[in-house]
Amino acid sequence: MKRTITAAACLLLAGCAGTAATARTPAPEARSLSPELAAATFDSTWSAVNRTFWDTTFNGVNWNAVRDTLRPRALAARSNPELRVVLSDMLHTLGQSHFGIIPGGEDAALAAGGPRAEGAPGEAGMEVRWDGARFLVTRVEPGGAADAAGIRTGYAIRSAGEIDAAHVATVVPRLPGGTDPHRAAFYAWGAMNGVLSGLAGDTLRVRGEDGAGRAVDAVLTLRPIAGQLARFGNLPPMAVRVEQDTLRSDGATVGVIRFNIWLPAAIGALDRAVNDLRGSDGIVIDLRGNVGGVGAMAPGWAGHFINRRDTLGAMITRRDTLQFVINPRLVNPAGERVQPYAGPVAVLTDEITGSTSEIFAGGLQALGRVRVFGATSAGQALPAAMPRLPNGDVLLHAIADMKGPGGVRWEARGVVPDAPAPVTRAALLAGGDPALDAAVAWIAEQNRSRARTR
């Protein structure tokens, strides 16, 4: 189970999956994969993309030539890790997100770097972001493992477990798009996030520095995860967390909803959160670190904030166009008649906000319904399928292009915030949250403006 939860969340975005495979050179080992199974797995991967890629020019790539070049390497692969490198190389030629190989079966635990032990999943209880040279602690769960070990928001992390910041800084620029600071932040987060979870009771050695520049050397004992374990399709189990809070600023009451992934297990809590916060002067939806999930949930939940039938965008396959239609939500979880929330809504994004989160944030932004604060999102917003391959691995492959209202496309570009508010170490050490603070201040101003016009 170790690290499979966060690895799965990461693998919803293809860049992470393919990169993980190509960044490693498998150690030599005895043949554990037959040429016949390697051929069947390679052919199944190539054919799935050949049938479903929405762009019949394959983004300018000669897909037949790619098959002819790489198939001999696939047949020569002696193990599943070797084969994954070949398959990832093939998928990377398309230059799109949501293409990757997710290790399956018993290899899932090994690929995640953890033991094949049974036990309760655990976590370090902190979140980090990459600043180009080190990881910054952006959030510490009260009472969690990091909190108990004395880690505080704003601390710089130089290493955690087998992840070393100096090594990350060397490897990331060699990855596709890795010289772009925005993409690099996503790659580095994916690498570090894998070591921040495991089995409850596992230990994790962390080295870094505090706000005064003093060395920090701590050993974290992972604690049971907070949230509900859920499965979707062929993906490993993932922890689903939905949090809500109420803040008060300058006479305004602001509801805050934060969740980590779009999976059906979150629907009930998300609906209840909107209903609980219905009386607020404004609502902040925090999608920072939310890598996406089930795309169909986005228009459904958006109906809480739109009072007319509209669309978040269109999913365009080779043959069809499917609109992400928003229908106003007129009934609350108790079955009572309500109106969609009409107050100001702010959405927070950062470099890890991806996929379904981008469709939701970008779509409502394009419709003029929300104001986005934070940093530009991941730019990985393609609908994907996840069939199982003959060798037991899972193929993540985009099956459609995605365009928002007015034809805006978030793939590679990301959702650009209306009010940029990037995280800084100084703000973190001071206990601030630039994006949240800006969003709350905007809602308070909206509240004052409404009061003046009454």
The C-alpha atoms of residue 158 and residue 347 are separated, in whole angstroms, by 31
pLDDT digit string, tens, across residues 144-181 = 999 999 999 999 999 999 899 999 999 888 877 788 88
DSSP notation for 100-166:
EEE--TTHHHHHTT-------EEE-SEEEEE-SSSEEEEEE-TTSHHHHTT--TT-EEEEETTEEHH
Averaged pLDDT, 188-204: 90
Map tokens 């800006």 to a residue: 438
Q: Which two tokens stand for residue 422?
A: 């990037």
What residues contact 317, with CB distance under 8 A and at least 6 apart?
A: 52, 54, 399, 400
Does position 25 have pLDDT exceeding 60, yes or no? no
pLDDT at 17 over 60: no
pLDDT at 179: 86
Query: Contact 316/54 with Cβ under 8 angstroms?
Result: yes
In three-state secondary structure terms, 369 is coil
- Between 5-14, 92-101, 210-219, the lowest mean confidence (pLDDT) is in 5-14
CA 305/CA 338 separation, integer angstroms: 12
For strands 156-160 and 163-164, give the pairing. antiparallel
Residue with tokens 């308070």: 444
Asked if residue 48 has pLDDT above 50, the reply is yes
- Give the range among 47-51, 93-97, 332-336 with minimum mean pLDDT: 93-97
pLDDT tens string 76-116: 999 999 999 999 999 989 988 889 898 876 445 444 434 44
Core vs surface per residue 384-414: b (16+ CB within 10 A) or e: bbbeebebbbbbbbbbbbbbbbeebebbeeb
The share of the chain scoring above pLDDT 70, in percent, equals 90
Angle at 164 between CA 433 and CA 218, to 5 degrees: 70
Mean pLDDT of the chain: 88
DSSP structure class, residue 259: E
Between 27 and 392, residue with greater pLDDT: 392
Please report, as a single letter, which amino acid is at residue 96.
Answer: Q
Give the pLDDT confidence score for residue 193 in this predicted structure: 86
- Indicate the residue type of 411: E
Q: In the chain, which residues fall in CATH 2.30.42.10? A: 121-224
pLDDT interval class at 30 (50, 70, 90)? low
CB 136, CB 423: distance < 8 Å: yes
Architecture of the structural domain at 121-224: Roll (2.30)
Q: Assign a CATH topology to domain 230-386+395-453.
A: 2-enoyl-CoA Hydratase; Chain A, domain 1 (3.90.226)
Query: For residue 26, is pLDDT > 50?
Result: no
Q: Do 342 and 365 contact (CB within 8 A), yes or no?
A: no
What backbone phi and psi angles, to 5 degrees, belong to 186? Answer: -70, -45
Intervals of CATH 3.90.226.10 along the chain: 230-386+395-453
Q: Write down the pTM of the prediction.
A: 0.86
More confident residue, 241 or 112: 241
Q: Do the beta carbons of residue 415 and residue 380 sit within 8 Å?
A: no
